[in-house]
Amino acid sequence: NAGVTQTPKFRILKIGQSMTLQCAQDMNHNYMYWYRQDPGMGLKLIYYSVGAGITDKGEVPNGYNVSRSTTEDFPLRLELAAPSQTSVYFCASSYWDTDAWSNSPLHFGNGTRLTVT
């Protein structure tokens, strides 16, 4: 059981380049999230999804795009990379049980360390 898998682990981009951070989960979780963590700081929500085909903005969505075509995958797209996007990116998933009215904890991937120079 792999849990939440993020690729790549590290990446260096030049200003203006684009890339996609991949995230996949195999726990059949309905909710998925992207967070960024700047050095010495907490986690800020970029985008989240409550199910396939549904996405919504978090606190810091500018400069990013997401899609959720399947339950398992939630890629994060960076267009025109800027130095301000240098950060560690975490993908996470959780399960909302409508019958039990209960939310599972967030399960995190191991992160992608991105540097934009």
Partner 1 sequence: AQKVTQAQTEISVVEKEDVTLDCVYETRDTTYYLFWYKQPPSGELVFLIRRNSFDEQNEISGRYSWNFQKSTSSFNFTITASQVVDSAVYFCALSEADFNKFYFGSGTKLNVKP
Among 46, 87, 111, 114, binds partner 1 (CB under 8 A): 111
Closest CB 10 distance from partner 1, rounded Å: 11
Q: Does 99 bind partner 1 (CB under 8 A)?
A: no
**Interface segment toward partner 1; rule CB under 8 A; list 10-18, 37-45, 66-74, 78-86:** 37-45
Q: Does 108 bind partner 1 (CB under 8 A)?
A: yes
Classify residue 40 by burial, with Cβ atoms within 10 Å: 0-12, 13-18, 19+.
exposed
Size of the site for partner 1 (CB under 8 A): 26
Of 77 and 96, the one with the shorter C-beta distance to partner 1 is: 96
Q: Would you give the end-to-end CA distance of the chain in angstroms?
A: 36
| Cα–Cα distance, 110 to 6 (Å, whole number) | 7
Among 48, 64, 74, 89, binds partner 1 (CB under 8 A): 48
How many of the other CB atoms lie within 10 Å of CB of 74? 29
* Cβ-contact 34, 48 below 8 angstroms: yes
